Amino acid sequence: MITLIAHSSTRATAIALVALAICASVAAQDKPKISYGVLLDSTGSMRSQFEIVCAIGKAVVHQTAPHGPVSIFDFATDRGSKEWNAAPVLRIEQSQDEAQLNRTIDGLYVQGGQTTLLDAIQLIADRLQERAQDSEKIIVVVSDGEDRVSKVKSKDLIQQLKDRKIRVFAVGLVRELESGKRDKATKLLMTLTSETGGRAAIPKGSVNIEEALKTLALPAA
């Protein structure tokens, strides 16, 4: 009788452990991944800093791709617009292949046109909302923060991002802007990130990528 009870107890414990393992596995599978949209500013004002823009982009990819799909966006000259604007363009969508993402970044180049930074962030938010509904959504911006001719207003964009629970993180390469423009760009990036629950890294001198990413502390699944 004692032997039977011991065997029964051991069996019950094993069954309970298996059940717990299955529940943990299901919970892990149900946990939404993070989907990242990365905007690399390729407009003319970034020409002298474009190499560092791409280097930061690759560092962001290395840090985020293991945790969820990454989409890369930049700008291209909109030759159909009267204002000769730089329009946001999707270059690769929802990939976790780091080599492929890096090749995409290597293929980017500086293009002319007036920056539509806020419109670009809105486009990325729309795309993430459409393609990654069940995921946490993060936008990473690498830019000098200048916005010249966006149609969407910052206040309206921030409300859209809040409603969708999309956080914005930014590396602001503002050092080459004139004083007044630098202050305006810094304020824009700080407002976008703080209001949506993200963070901004604004290097004052030479850019230390490792320190910038540490400041951002990008979420990982």
> What's the whole-model pTM score?
0.85
Comparing 29-38, 127-136, 198-207, the range with the smallest average pLDDT is: 29-38
Amino acid at 30: D
Q: d(Cα 137, Cα 68) in Å, to the nearest integer? A: 10
CA–CA separation, 119 vs 159, rounded Å? 14
- 48: pLDDT confidence band, cut at 50, 70 and 90? very high
Domain positions in the chain:
1-31, 33-216
- Side chain identity at residue 175, one-letter code: R
pLDDT tens per residue, range 95-148: 999 999 999 999 999 998 889 999 999 999 999 999 988 899 999 999 999 998
β-pairing, 70-77 with 85-95? antiparallel
Distances (CA, A) of 164 to 64, 126, 128, 158: 20, 9, 10, 10
Closest CA to 72 of 52, 58, 86: 58
Q: What are phi and psi of 56, to 5 degrees?
A: -65, -40
Backbone angles phi, psi at 44, to 5 degrees: -60, -30
Q: How far apart are CA 216 and CA 201, in angstroms?
A: 6
pLDDT of the residue at 83:
67
β-pair partners for 139 = 37, 168
The architecture in CATH of the region 33-216 reads 3-Layer(aba) Sandwich (3.40)
